[in-house]
Amino acid sequence: MTDYVMEAKHVFKTYRIKGEKKGDVKVVDAVKDVSLQIRKGDIKLIFGPSGSGKSTFLRCMAMLDIPDSGEIWLGDECLTKPGVDLNKARARIGFVFQHIYLFKHLTAIGNVELALRQVLKMPKEDARKRAMAALEEVKVTDCINKYPAQLSGGQAQRVGIARAIARQPDIILLDEPTSALDPELTGEVIDTLRDLAHEGTTMLIVSHEMPFAQEVAEEMIFYDEGHIIETGPPSLFFNAPNTDRAKQFMTRIINRTTR
């Protein structure tokens, strides 16, 4: 019986981007020998320069991208073994996307209900109750019958979070949940995440939001060029990081946010 909710062991992921000319292929090493353990109730935040591969790593954790090598464990189950039912596994993981990706043809409540009915096979009544509860938690109860195109960015992302938590998953993975939103709208999403954190939800977040990190994260992980460079509590990074790269990055960030 493992202690960890999720664990990544020596994960590698490279991908190829086709260039403009024929035969031009750019090889990107997004994840180079990354290992990470997450216990129940942990709130960890991955941060670092853009393009460093953080999102790719997060998607590998959820098996939305398949790692080239290494192991991903969800509790006692190794997801990277062949023959594993990935759909069942993903049902136990909640994922929140940078670009939200709500189901455009369904209303807000429809978005939350869909997986409850099709994956958990809940009957209509129960699914609706559970969906309403999730939407109440993210405080989006006044527009449940609206379509995604009619919602503001902040409302849509909160519905996205409701969609992720409705199945009561073991862990929630969030990929830059506020990066695509207008600055005024990030507040509502951050409030929601703060509430979830206080309730003891296990979360692994990729984010730039430094104030949020300082307040809510228990552990911060600095990620650059495919590697985990340094880990530690927020106080470490905001006062005196150990590595030069982390120091450089934090200086730049802090200069930008304190004006």
Partner 1 sequence: MTYWLTDPRTWTWILQGLSATVAITLFGVCLGLLLGTLLAIGDLYGGKVSKGIISVYVEFFRGSPLFVQVFIAVYAVPALFNIRIDHNFLAFLVFGLNSAGYQKGYVKGAMQTVLDDQMTAGLSVGMSKWQTLRHVILPQAYRIVIPAWTNEFCSLTKSSSVLAYVGISFFASGISDLTSVGIAVSYQQFVILPVWIVIGLIYLAWITGFSKIMDTIYEKKKIPGIDLEIQS
- Is residue 109 within the footprint of partner 1 (CB under 8 A)? no
Decide: 35 and 76 in contact? Cβ < 8 Å.
no
| Euclidean distance between CA atoms 227 and 28, whole angstroms | 13
| Euclidean distance between CA atoms 187 and 132, whole angstroms | 22
- Is residue 90 within the footprint of partner 1 (CB under 8 A)? yes
Using the contact rule CB under 8 A, the part of the chain among 33-41, 114-122, 185-193, 223-231 near partner 1 is: 114-122
Collapse the DSSP code of 110 into the 3-class scheme (helix H, G, I; strand E, B; otherwise coil) and give the result: helix
CB of 110 to partner 1, least distance (A): 10
* Out of 28, 64, 84, 180, the residue judged to bind partner 1 by CB under 8 A: 64
- Is residue 149 within the footprint of partner 1 (CB under 8 A)? yes
- Is residue 92 within the footprint of partner 1 (CB under 8 A)? yes
- Is residue 13 within the footprint of partner 1 (CB under 8 A)? no
The DSSP H or E segment spanning 119 is none
Q: 202: closest CA among 232, 173, 160, 222?
A: 173
- Is residue 91 within the footprint of partner 1 (CB under 8 A)? yes
> In terms of residues, how long is the chain?
259
Task: Tell me the two tokens of residue 33.
Answer: 């020998």
- Is residue 95 within the footprint of partner 1 (CB under 8 A)? yes
Binding site for partner 1 (CB under 8 A): 62, 64, 87-88, 90-93, 95, 97, 99, 101-105, 114-115, 118-119, 147-150, 163-164, 167
